[in-house]
Amino acid sequence: MSLRACSQRFGAAIRSQQRRVAGQSRRSYASTATAASSLPQEMKNSIDKEASLSNPDPPSDSSTARLVSSQNPYMVPTYVRPPPMFQQGEGCYIWDVENRPYLDFTAGIAVNSLGHCDPEISKILYQQSQTLVHCSNLYYSPWIGALSQLLVEKTRESDGMKDVGKVFVCNSGSEANEAAIKFARKHGRTVQPNGSKHEIVSFNNSFHGRTMGALSATPNPKYQKPFAPMVPGFRYGTYNDVSAINDLVTEATCGVIIEPIQGEGGVNVATQEFLLALRKRCNEVNAVLIYDEIQCGLSRTGQLWAHCALPAEAHPDILTTAKALGNGIPIGATLVTDDVSSKIVTGDHGTTFGGNPLACRVAHYCLTRLSEPDLQKAVVQKEARFRQHMTRLHQRFPKIIQEVRGRGLILGMQLTSDPTPVITAARERGLLIITCGTNTLRFVPPLIVSDEEIDKGMAVLGDAMAAVFEQPEVVKGTDGQQEMRATH
């Protein structure tokens, strides 16, 4: 048995005794247990460490590891995953197969905004699964229309996308962006039938998805290089560089796609000046402006859409959404103006599953809840609470924490070093967080996270950072939970 596996067994045994010994601190109990033994010092240290953790990663001889290694040979290795395996969720918690709870500040990467297994969503899923799950888009069914109408109405009520008119419903964020890119190309082809107006502009550090069109708009060499050549006709600019816009967006441009707040790229917020200038330039050259709000939309900033904070002169022609729209049931949507819609004709685009009654009915419910003003107000208050904790952490680790970026409950804490060990240390203490950009810790918890859960999670994060930066030899980072990191 490996040293680590052996010490984790001891740790587990000690933890189970701890649960029975009231009032005795974990650390002191473990130390007492190991101090009296004749084990090598290295093993004693390891046992003490394991005993101090609530959720040490399952060792290589655990039932979790056995299950993982029996299943892994059948899965294309597109992800590097950390050792625990998750099987159940409720609210802001998710449990692993060893029945240990983790506070989830990732929300499935900004998906479970209403928390895990919301009881009302479970009820809707059950009812609709007994009514109608799928009906081809060749026929009318009520929920795709109801969802489209609600998306338009809620967007108007929220002072978002001033000319929003119609919706195309699909299955994911990438597909919503594929539709947006195709609609922009069709717009260009309609304005300039010789095909010269076909360029799509996007920005460094953006993330628009993994399908070939969305990937071509995602200028990250790690993602693009293995699959080159990209779709032709994509150009890239620097986020927030107002001075470069005129040369970047030209008469050849049919569309510009941008995240008002970049998620994967590091929680970078576009300035109002930049988005106003982009909008103005798109008007000059008759290109459509596409806002990808797949991660930052649906009240994550405290407003229905991140761009609701902007004046109407900066609003888009196309808006894409997904992630929280289904709270975990796959769905995406592309909102367009009537002008863009007028250029799309039957047969231009379609989908088999997109807009099925099951996903649309769930999304209709999620959108109703997510657009409630009370929920949105609470998001702003929770941001303030997170930021208070982050300020305290900054005082404690002034050399490690550089800045905090973002809005509402999409926040990025920029570190001066690799956050991988912090991610591991937090997970082993029962908190899930993820990274983004370069050395950034990303906070995208469920929007229903309570004050107590924020306090608890941030206390765990403080402990994790102390373990990593005050005793660096104790915690080694393991891979996994890093969306932007390419496999090694």
Beta strands in 312-400 (DSSP E): 318-321, 332-337
Cα 441 off chain centre by: 12
53 vs 447, beta carbon nearer ligand PLP: 447
Which residues, in sequence order, are bridge partners of residue 480? none
Query: Residue 269: phi, psi to the nearest 5?
Result: -100, 130
Using CB under 6 A as the binding rule, whether residue 295 contacts ligand PLP is answered as yes
Interface with ligand PLP (CB under 6 A), residue from 96, 259, 428, 453: 259
Stretch that binds ligand PLP, among 10-18, 204-212, 357-365, 428-436 (CB under 6 A): 204-212
298 vs 426, beta carbon nearer ligand PLP: 298
Interface with ligand PLP (CB under 6 A), residue from 96, 264, 317, 453: 264
Residue 20 C-beta: closest distance to ligand PLP, Å: 44
Please give the size of the binding site for ligand PLP, defined by CB under 6 A. 15
Interface with ligand PLP (CB under 6 A), residue from 121, 322, 458, 475: 322
Cα 459 off chain centre by: 22
269 vs 460, beta carbon nearer ligand PLP: 269
Kindly identify the residues of this chain, within the stretch 24-63, that bind ligand PLP according to CB under 6 A: none
Stretch that binds ligand PLP, among 67-75, 141-149, 150-158, 173-181 (CB under 6 A): 173-181
Kindly identify the residues of this chain, within the stretch 106-125, that bind ligand PLP according to CB under 6 A: 109
Residue 424 C-beta: closest distance to ligand PLP, Å: 22
Neighbours of 348 (CB within 10 A): 12
Render 376-422 in DSSP notation, one character per residue.
HHHHHHHHHHHHHHHHHHHHHSTTTEEEEEEETTEEEEEESS--HHH
Distance (Å, whole) CA 480 – CA 487: 9
Residue 109 C-beta: closest distance to ligand PLP, Å: 6
> Which single residue brings its beta carbon nearest to ligand PLP?
173
Residues 212 and 231 sit within 8 Å (Cβ to Cβ): yes
379 vs 436, beta carbon nearer ligand PLP: 436
Using CB under 6 A as the binding rule, whether residue 207 contacts ligand PLP is answered as yes
Which residue carries 């969720």 as its tokens? Answer: 89
Interface with ligand PLP (CB under 6 A), residue from 188, 209, 408, 445: 209
Stretch that binds ligand PLP, among 20-28, 124-132, 201-209, 449-457 (CB under 6 A): 201-209
Residue 334 C-beta: closest distance to ligand PLP, Å: 12
**Rounded to whole angstroms, what are the CA distances from 375 to 89, 380, 389, 458?**
21, 9, 21, 21
Interface with ligand PLP (CB under 6 A), residue from 186, 208, 307, 382: 208
What lies within 8 Å, CB to CB, of 465 at 6+ separation is 393, 396, 397, 400, 422, 425
Interface with ligand PLP (CB under 6 A), residue from 106, 112, 113, 174: 174
Beta strands in 71-224 (DSSP E): 86-90, 93-96, 101-104, 164-170, 199-203
- Nearest of 155, 177, 114 to residue 304 by alpha carbon: 155
Residue 63 C-beta: closest distance to ligand PLP, Å: 31
Stretch that binds ligand PLP, among 183-191, 205-213, 237-245, 412-420 (CB under 6 A): 205-213
Stretch that binds ligand PLP, among 124-132, 161-169, 170-178, 282-290 (CB under 6 A): 170-178
Stretch that binds ligand PLP, among 15-23, 222-230, 259-267, 282-290 (CB under 6 A): 259-267
109 vs 230, beta carbon nearer ligand PLP: 109
322 vs 333, beta carbon nearer ligand PLP: 322
The burial of 289, by beta-carbon neighbours within 10 Å (0-12 exposed, 13-18 middle, 19 or more buried), is given as: buried
The burial of 11, by beta-carbon neighbours within 10 Å (0-12 exposed, 13-18 middle, 19 or more buried), is given as: buried
Distance (Å, whole) CA 316 – CA 290: 6
- Nearest of 336, 389, 293, 301 to residue 182 by alpha carbon: 336
Residue 66 C-beta: closest distance to ligand PLP, Å: 30
- Nearest of 331, 322, 257 to residue 294 by alpha carbon: 322
Using CB under 6 A as the binding rule, whether residue 306 contacts ligand PLP is answered as no
Distance (Å, whole) CA 416 – CA 400: 5
Residue 203 C-beta: closest distance to ligand PLP, Å: 12
Residue 227 C-beta: closest distance to ligand PLP, Å: 15
Render 196-231 in DSSP notation, one character per residue.
T--EEEEETT----SSHHHHHT---HHHHGGGPSPP
Would you call the peptide bond into 229 cis, given omega within 30 degrees of 0 as the criterion? Answer: yes
Using CB under 6 A as the binding rule, whether residue 263 contacts ligand PLP is answered as yes
- Which pair of tokens denotes residue 465? 């950072």
Residue 181 C-beta: closest distance to ligand PLP, Å: 12
Say how many Å lie between the first and final Cα of the chain, rounded: 27
Interface with ligand PLP (CB under 6 A), residue from 58, 108, 173, 302: 173
- Measured in residues, the chain has a length of 488
Residue 28 C-beta: closest distance to ligand PLP, Å: 44
Residues at the interface with ligand PLP (CB under 6 A): 109, 172-174, 177, 207-209, 259, 263-264, 292, 294-295, 322
